[in-house]
A and B are shown apart, each in its own frame.
Chain A
């Protein structure tokens, strides 16, 4: 029993792109840095990012610049973004990408030897720096291989159970390691949350087991606020067959390279309905769309490259109206480009190598010859810990956040490619600000009683016998969220979901996990339930309160946008008795300059 203690200036929780970038920056600023990661180093969900990172370097189209990027981001987010974050992101992304190159990343090249950029949904110009379709792997490996030489203290396969406090300030974290089930207390003057998303709350998801919303709820419990939790991105193209791979991501890069969506009648249905905000930017004919993806600057983008929320809804509509593919999706066809490209087979394998292998090995489909079957999958949460844009600090002194667990940048819908650059830009800002904070504030003390309480709570599932199986509760919750708080929402169903979540919370208090402390996944799942249940409730409550359809949030009972709701964000708070409440507050970070920029750019 008991715990091991270690101390640092800045504790980073999470070792994906954001966490690693924050750790590198804090360390470069002279702070002693500890990183806790739930998995092994280099395995975080960032590896799954395929398409690329958005940065307006203008290598392929020199009309691009940060001003176009920020307006694209705001339009994509339906203007609910934290405008200041969108501005910082657009301004700093190019430098963050170049920095990766200086640390060894090898992006695909333009003919004149610069970093190549590709088209992606919602981006006006080719903007995504990429390496085939494995950009996330390139990014995490670069940060990892750079980071291991910076004197950072890494604790792998270690999961945080609670943040610890010293008065109002955060003071550290209580964690267990998977390998031996030992407990660790890490004392820290500042903490950066970089824990990623919440996808495991849903049944069909592209996210790994780690994505249980830990960072969101740990911050809530420490007194921070969440913003925009109703906005969960359903990526339009996940695999739908075979059942066991349902939800695995099919990169938007397929459409960026010319892939088209068809229904069972062979109709390219995306041409049928173009949202008013994008009419001027969308191709009129398939021929113009093809010219766009092959680099014709005069052409406008094909409707397959509209924002993710829109494409996902259109696929669902086709399926609901009986025009879906055999396994309940739509057809995504890249093989058709053989009509236009000689040796298209080699071209596809080169541009989309991991997609080729994924379909070949998991579904027995050769994408160079046949269409893929795709459908929406839970992919990303726009909502997250509410922070100050310029420092990434939450309401809690010393508690910072960056990456997916942080809210604000993406508003109601994230553009593809804006996530990887988000990790870099705000990882750096958070790391820097956390190091500064740690330098300006004295030592923390942690009361042993506080630690003892967390220890008892952590061991409870293993000491209880005869309780329910934690996996059963996890699966039930995933069904509830998928069916009742999914891609098309309605008041009565969300109310039902909240009731069910409340019941599951009671049952989760009585689960038991047999076995011992060493690498015991049943125990770990039992501990994750706390986070999953709280974050699910936050999503459902926020969604219930937004009586309109906007971005990723679609309400069957309120199909239209509501002008007043278009000016507010939803805040989630946790009160002392454990209950969650929501409130609408005005959108953050708007300035006159940005507003006139948005008008000017159209």
Chain B
């Protein structure tokens, strides 16, 4: 049982929350970096290798493209259908192989990344599918390489959707990170687990909720702002352009 009237309680609380917050931010950031590094190309390949799309025949082989598409689609669906807590336990040998241990905040990043990659790959897939088919045709007609198509057409056009999807991805990584306390990972989830559950401190629970809420709010607001900055497709001044047109005609 805790004693909120004890002078030590409040000074402890601050330290615990700060440590938990930093751990959560650390786990989430590292997991996010790897998620984007792997999930972004994965998502693009996942769409591209579909029939009739820009990567349907990598190295000139249609069968290879279909095979890649099937395998990736299967892996992504598998990753998304296994509950995180099961995945985390199932990944223990892999985590140990990769970072030498499976206990603690650092190793917890491995399952967090593995669970976020398929999620993010689907985000990218949806964003790329939204790109107007005419743009692919135009790029083809210009004799652009696939690499150039990705850099100069797909990424700029899909950017707003991907940015918004990244915010959702971050939110789910934070969500999942609350569970890594089970395997000895730190973070705010662990604070809630050790102080809230085991010592019945409602103060800790409330504080964790408030902090998580604030982080998610900030992430979402930041993503909304960034998405607006990279999105120029809304034609915010089409009427303005018409006026210019008419003005030019008069001149």
Q: Specify whether A and B are partners.
A: no
Residues of A within 8 A of B (CB): none
Residues of B within 8 A of A (CB): none
